[in-house]
Amino acid sequence: MATLETEHQPRRHIDTFNRVSRAINAACAHPAASATVFTVIVIWLLFGQHAGFSETWQLVMNTTSSVVTFLMVFVIANAQKRDTDALLLKLDLLIAANPDTKNTAVALEEHPEHIVEAVRQEIRDLQDRVEGEEREGA
């Protein structure tokens, strides 16, 4: 039988990853990060002249940039997913809280494509009806 502590172990790892990912994302979004990368590249180029731009010298930069790019893809994807999830929850809350709105769009991202398309068509029809009423009233 699993204890309460071991049941929450995977959740703790995910929370730790999210905290680290947010910290890396915030640090990389800071202007100082761009200045640091620019400085490192300039230093690499200057010292590369002394090293004769050997294959090893180029391999160091190529490998470093590949590893950093690979890791940043996951950091950015994590940040975008969190931001999108938060935005969707806020929109769902606004839709659900307004008694004048239909709740068909709440959690729309979780529905199959045919339901999404039906809601999309319903919105188009509503827009056409509103535009027609505006033309008649003008």
Find out whether 89 and 32 touch, Cβ atoms under 8 Å: no
Query: Which residue has tokens 């535009």?
Result: 131
| pLDDT tens-digit series, residues 98-123 | 887 777 778 888 889 998 888 889 88
| pLDDT tens-digit series, residues 51-90 | 788 888 889 889 999 999 999 999 999 999 999 999 988 8
**CB within 8 A of 48, min separation 6: which ones?**
57, 58
For the chain, the structural domain boundaries read: 10-80
Q: Which of 87, 92, 114 is nearest to 105 (CA)?
A: 92
| pLDDT tens-digit series, residues 10-67 | 788 888 888 898 899 899 989 999 999 999 999 988 888 887 888 888 898 899 999 9
Round to whole Å and give the CA distance between 62 and 136: 64
Q: pTM of the full predicted structure? A: 0.65
Find out whether 99 and 84 touch, Cβ atoms under 8 Å: no
